[in-house]
Amino acid sequence: MSRKKINDGLEGRILAVLQLKYSQPQIVKILKKDGINVSQQTISNIKRNIGLQRNSVEKIKFSQQRP
């Protein structure tokens, strides 16, 4: 089964709404009004990827500080 890729514009829009502290169901409703169908799982994946990227940067900084 092939997965659909979301474009960078849509991902950026979801990230912007996530920063405004909207819940996942609220984001789905907002995007649905604009004619964009996105599942809560997609939003969850984007949200999780932000955390993974943030953690990887912190790990890199920590490893650079070691003697």
Number of structural domains (the chain) is 1
The answer to whether the beta carbons of residues 38 and 31 sit under 8 Å apart is yes
Q: Answer whether residue 27 is part of any domain.
A: yes
Q: Answer whether residue 66 is part of any domain.
A: no
Q: Answer whether residue 38 is part of any domain.
A: yes
Q: Answer whether residue 65 is part of any domain.
A: no
Q: Answer whether residue 57 is part of any domain.
A: no
Q: Answer whether residue 15 is part of any domain.
A: no
pTM over 0.75? The answer is no
Q: Answer whether residue 10 is part of any domain.
A: no
pLDDT at 63 over 50: no
**Closest C-alpha among 6, 2, 3 to residue 37:** 6
Which domain covers residue 41, as residue numbers?
Answer: 22-48
Residue range 14-36, pLDDT digits in tens:
888 888 989 999 999 999 999 99
